[in-house]
Structure 1
Amino acid sequence: MPATNLKIMMSSANVLLKLFARGFYKEHAGLFIFLFVTFVSYFFFIQILNPHIEPDEIILYNLILGIAFISTPIVTLFIAGIWFVYAVKSCTYIMSQLLLDSNQFLRCSLTAWPKINQYKFWVLVQAAILAPLIAYSVFSFILGLIFHHYIIPIAILTYISLLVGLSALTCLVVSNRSHEVLQFHMFRKVIIPLSKPQFSLFLYYVLDEMGLTFIVTKTLSLSVSVAMLMLLDNFITDSRFSFLVVLAVSVSHAVLIFHSHAFEEKYLSIIRNLPILRVKLFLYMVLLYMLMILPEAVLIFVVFGFIKSVPLLFFGISIMILMRTIFFVHDTSGGNYIRVIFGLFVIFFILLLFDLGMFVAIVNFSLAFLFFYRLYYVKEFKLKPR
């Protein structure tokens, strides 16, 4: 290959990495921060959760997730499903970016290359986006060699290679298609005849317009909760552990909570002009988030029983309500909102280690009601709270 063509290819690859790979990480920074804090916190506080762990056992407990991944087929299949959703999310993000007017120049420059070169570009982009999965696959393979598990680690490397290859192929096909993209809204035919209470409108909107975001959020939430319950079943009788599971479930819905605020501001601002009591509106919000975490609530009731599950769900709802009413205190943007949620997560995590779950729930619910009741009309009428 001539040096000029090689230089042009490197420039094209660099543009694609900046547009898609860097943009993907920037848009999903909150998810990566949450996962990083969850794992790092577990590594550092595992001995606090179980003081009976001997120092020489700490490393083994820290590696328990990786060991289960390479030795338990069920766990492997479960995590493989999460990785598949992640790959689909990456392809969806790239498709959405390709439809932007500012990126239409790619249809002239990128498609001018032979298909094999285009495929190499997309493999590089997908490898960059799936880099955390690739790194964990390599780590699992090394762990398998150490603990003499060979079949599953090899299958994992093969699987991640197929994900990268198929994702790149999908991007190749989409990038060579015309600008018009068909959109199907079959869900609307089902929901139009149904009654829609005010508190349920956002859920209908999510299922119709944000289906993939909803699936990814639910997959993350259920995956984190199931993984914690399966891998840390020795701590299941510890009340602190049950509250930590609910904390992970609640915070994983931060994206949907952010969009619920945006949805209400854009489409339901007229409600401030209707004669509806603020207490009733607050209860509507509680009902919305109760419905939002219904699958996780069923799981919690099955695992912990009715008596223990009621305070746990109260704790989870209180966190979600507080994350929503933060917008009444300060209309934060996406980046600032993620920082606030990150800070709340760290604070709640530390408090739960001292077995203060119900105290945190009562404080959260009280603050959320205070913010909502006093500040609900402030933004609309520019009034100072009395």
Structure 2
Amino acid sequence: MIAPLTRTLIRILAIGFYREHAGVLACCFGTVLCYCFFITPAGHIDPRDLVMYNLTFTLAVLDAPIVMFTVCVLWLLYTIKSWQYIAKQLRAPENMFLYYSVNAFSRFRQFVSWSLAQFVILLPIIVYGIMILVVGMSYHSYKVPIILWLYILLLGSISARVYMYFMYEQATVPKTALFTQILKSWPKAYFSLPFYNMLHTTPWMGLITKVFSLLVLMSTFYFFNQLENTAVLYMVILITCMSHTILIYRENSFMEMYMPMARNFAYSRARIYGQHVIYYSLLLIPETVVLLTYTDLLTTALLFTFSLGCLLLLRSLLYIPSMYMRRYLWSITGIFTLSFIVILSQGGWLLIAATVTTSFTLCHTYYYQKET
């Protein structure tokens, strides 16, 4: 029988987590299941062996260190997302009673209940771990399943300790983050204000975006050791640029909400565009380092210019009047599709020129026409 404390935590927090993230979880978990059971490999394979073939291939792929590392990082990001949700729910007025009721139990009882609640949140990961365990035992491959299950147990245990920390510490007046205390006295250039706002308000969003971008790049170079087709690199860079969409949109929201007076500054539109160039060049430093590691200087320069042009275009779109989220997403979808077609047509140079020219034109035309 489930203890009352555990049942309460599961009903209020774990089930609430699934309600809020049902769409994303269904999409991600459904993609994994479709891959494992419905993807048909090349060649003739008996339909009776198709599912086991895909499961075996999944286990073989996980033996690759870079893929194993990617899976662990994705699971860690999922766990961190659950920490953010639990922290937000514990601060909600309707859940303040948990501070008094949960802390009335012993620390061991709290640890067990929080661990069980976290394992309920980790059910999609646990189901995938069970699948890997079954396939591994069938083919006498125990290393990957054991490592993954130890990792799952570690995530659950660490999460329980994190939640206990929330219960004891968040009832007090929140403290300013250490990096905020360090950086608040530094002089800050105008173009860097969105970056400091991201560090202060949504640091995990920026971290997740950069980790995803770097993993996509590194995985591409890992699986294609001799990558001579530049079209593949342009496609990968296009995907990494699109992953920055939410950061760009939040940057614009921050400037519109907290810096509306900026349009009264004595800044020319060329200077505003130049500040965007500096900001996004700094934002692309991690990707540039990876490109320099795996490609020559000329290829890196071309890909960097293309990625910079894409980010500038995504930013300049937001200067168009009435460019709200829905219309912005449709515009991005159109840009992605058109860019994909141009890349397949070996039009990398054309795409670089088009993104830079269009972004500057949009910024120059609409910067002072933006509705506030």
Taking structure 2 as the reference length, the TM-score comes to 0.78
Q: 5 Å matches for 1:294-373?
A: 294-329=285-320, 330-333=322-325, 341=332, 344-345=335-336, 348-349=339-340, 351-373=342-364
Q: Does 1:267 align with 2:258?
A: yes
Does the Cα contact within 8 Å between 1:25 and 1:129 map onto a contact in 2?
no
Corresponding residue of 1:23: 20
Distance 1:350 1:139 in 2: 38
Unaligned runs of 5+ in 1: 47-52, 382-386
Distance 1:374 1:63, change over 3 A: farther
Q: Secondary structure at the match of 1:233?
A: coil
Number of equivalenced pairs:
365
**C-alpha displacement at 1:172, in angstroms?**
4.2
Bigger shift: residues 371-380 or 357-366 = 357-366
Does the Cα contact within 8 Å between 1:315 and 1:361 map onto a contact in 2?
yes
Distance 1:207 1:176, change over 3 A: closer
Q: 5 Å matches for 1:118-137?
A: 122-123=114-115, 125-127=117-119, 129-137=121-129
Does the Cα contact within 8 Å between 1:243 and 1:352 map onto a contact in 2?
yes
Corresponding residue of 2:89: 97
Q: Which amino acid aligns with 2:210?
A: K
Distance 1:177 1:38, change over 3 A: same
**C-alpha displacement at 1:281, in angstroms?**
0.5
Distance 1:20 1:212 in 2: 18
Does the Cα contact within 8 Å between 2:9 and 2:114 map onto a contact in 1?
no
Distance 1:62 1:376 in 2: 53
Does the Cα contact within 8 Å between 1:82 and 1:223 map onto a contact in 2?
no
Distance 1:181 1:77, change over 3 A: farther
**C-alpha displacement at 1:309, in angstroms?**
1.6
Q: Which amino acid aligns with 2:13?
A: L
**C-alpha displacement at 1:343, in angstroms?**
5.9
CA RMSD of the aligned region, Å? 4.2
Distance 1:10 1:93, change over 3 A: closer
Q: Which amino acid aligns with 1:95?
A: A
**C-alpha displacement at 1:297, in angstroms?**
0.9
1:171 to 163, 166, 169: 163
Distance 1:366 1:110, change over 3 A: farther
Corresponding residue of 1:210: 202
2:267 to 276, 301, 316: 276
Distance 2:79 2:304 in 1: 31
1:68 to 55, 61, 68: 61
Distance 2:190 2:289 in 1: 24
Does the Cα contact within 8 Å between 1:250 and 1:319 map onto a contact in 2?
yes
Does the Cα contact within 8 Å between 1:188 and 1:208 map onto a contact in 2?
yes
**C-alpha displacement at 1:108, in angstroms?**
5.7
Distance 2:69 2:220 in 1: 16
Does the Cα contact within 8 Å between 1:21 and 1:126 map onto a contact in 2?
no
Distance 1:327 1:109 in 2: 47
Q: 5 Å matches for 1:241-256?
A: 241-256=232-247
Unaligned runs of 5+ in 2: 46-50
State the Cα deviation string for residues 107-132 of structure 1 (Å, max 9, x = none): 46666788777666644653454344
State the Cα deviation string for residues 223-258 of structure 1 (Å, max 9, x = none): 222122212335x21112111221232122223212
**C-alpha displacement at 1:106, in angstroms?**
4.3
Corresponding residue of 2:151: 159
Does the Cα contact within 8 Å between 2:115 and 2:156 map onto a contact in 1?
yes
**C-alpha displacement at 1:12, in angstroms?**
6.2
Distance 1:164 1:100 in 2: 23
Q: Which amino acid aligns with 1:272?
A: R
Does the Cα contact within 8 Å between 2:29 and 2:124 map onto a contact in 1?
no
Corresponding residue of 2:76: 84
Distance 1:189 1:177, change over 3 A: closer
Distance 2:258 2:137 in 1: 55
Q: Which has the higher contact order (CA 8 A, sep 6+)?
A: 1
Q: Secondary structure at the match of 2:318?
A: helix
Distance 2:335 2:9 in 1: 41
Taking structure 1 as the reference length, the TM-score comes to 0.76
Sequence identity of aligned pairs in percent? 25
Distance 1:12 1:291, change over 3 A: closer
Distance 1:302 1:154, change over 3 A: same
**C-alpha displacement at 1:138, in angstroms?**
3.6
Distance 1:39 1:317 in 2: 36
